[in-house]
Structure 1
Amino acid sequence: MSGDQLTITNGRNIITTTPDAITNIEPAMDPAPPNTTPLPNPQSSPPPLVEPPPPPPLTPEQVQIQARVTAIEQQINELQQKIDESQMRDQLARQRGSSSAHTARTRRYVIELDRLIAQRTNLLRQLR
């Protein structure tokens, strides 16, 4: 028996043994995939961060349109609350077995809501 040390490396494991102890060497069942990730080059510097230019300032007309859009969005929010309340009242009236005038009111609110949304959409198109 020899006293020499033998180091075996299979890509994942490092085994230190004696040459006399090795009788049967079989390939690993699932060899480790090669590392294909490129190492960073210390010589190269990262690309500079480029921020997009700020948007151009709004024209006075665009400022007016934006103000109208904001006002319409406020009206839309208020109208959506009215629709929710009207639908609840209508549902309560139906549960009690009585008719409700809220159904017609809700329909009017929904029609007005559609009109406001179309108006806001047209204004937003003008801002593009």
Structure 2
Amino acid sequence: MLLSLLAAAVASSTNVDCATAVPAFMASYAADLQAGNRAAIAGRYSAGGAYSLGYEAKSFDSAAAIARRYTGAEWQKPDAFAWQALSVEQLGPGACLATGGFRWTQGAGSMDFAYTAVLRAEPAGLRILLEHENPLPKK
């Protein structure tokens, strides 16, 4: 399943320079998270939907389901958000891999997470096709 997902991402007909595009995408993604810009966050995912891993079993969610996740009462914006040690790889002409982590701060508590995303170039720009988040143990 992951191989077919990567093949679909790599098959994108739009060229993208991941070394430049991914850091810009991730910086604006962090700004949207911290601002609580729900519509912009939901719009960062592929128009055809995206895979989600971590927390629960793998799922594929439609763009509408992703929008509901971020506009629903359960999702709360962080008080602070920061990417940590992101690495970027070019998977193909229109596909990128981002790996690293992030720190999510809400109230007096912070949590560190491992993070992986496959991003695909779409007509609207880079979009998340797969996102994997795992909380890291407290140090």
The alignment's TM-score, normalised by the length of structure 1, stands at: 0.22
Larger Rg: 1
If each structure's strand is expressed as a fraction of its own residues, which one has the higher value? 2
